[in-house]
Structure 1
Amino acid sequence: MDEQELRKEAHDLDVTVWVGKSGLSAVTDELKNQLRNEKLVKVKFLRAARGGTSTDELAEELADEASAELVETRGNTAVYH
């Protein structure tokens, strides 16, 4: 499945993982678990998690930690495959 098809499919997904003040380490395992059962997972980065960091930087870091593929970021939300 190419990236454009994944983006179309992700459009109607609900957010199932929220990154808050506890940071990325608090949700890494949850993202891994959800990706075992789902093709795509949508993650929301709350203001408390972002601090002075951009959503894109956090999304890339979470992808590395969870060994996931970052499909896209839009606003404060990222989609993983």
Structure 2
Amino acid sequence: MDNQERKRRVHDLDVTVWVGKSGVDAVVDELDDQLTDRELVKVKFLRAARAGSSTDEKAADLAERVNADLVDTRGHTAVLHR
């Protein structure tokens, strides 16, 4: 998939994982399952999850835990690829 195709697919994705006050630990298994089923997954970090750190830091941590690549972060949303 070329870069332009990936950008189009990322734009069209719906958020399917929300990280809330329970933090990253609570969504690792669900995200891992979703990445097994599809290449790209969009993750939204709610205000309670971001307390004390940036979305980039949280997204990088989550990507490392599920052995995925962090494709993009915009605002409080990240896209992961495996």
Separation (CA, whole Å) in 2 of partners of 1:60 and 1:3: 20
Who is 1:45 aligned against? 45
Separation (CA, whole Å) in 1 of partners of 2:3 and 2:49: 27
Q: How many residues align?
A: 81
Separation (CA, whole Å) in 1 of partners of 2:55 and 2:71: 14
Query: RMSD of aligned C-alpha atoms?
Result: 1.1
Separation (CA, whole Å) in 1 of partners of 2:3 and 2:44: 20
Within 5 Å, which residues of 2 pair with 1:1-81?
1-81=1-81
The TM-score normalised by the length of structure 1 is 0.93
Q: Deviations over 1:17-73 (max 9, x none)?
A: 000000101001111100111111000000000001000000000000111111000
Amino acid at match of 1:38: R
Separation (CA, whole Å) in 2 of partners of 1:29 and 1:5: 28
Asked if the contact 1:7–1:72 (Cα under 8 Å) also holds between the matched residues in 2, the reply is no
Question: Which structure 2 residue ranges, 5 or more long, are not aligned?
Answer: none
Amino acid at match of 1:5: E
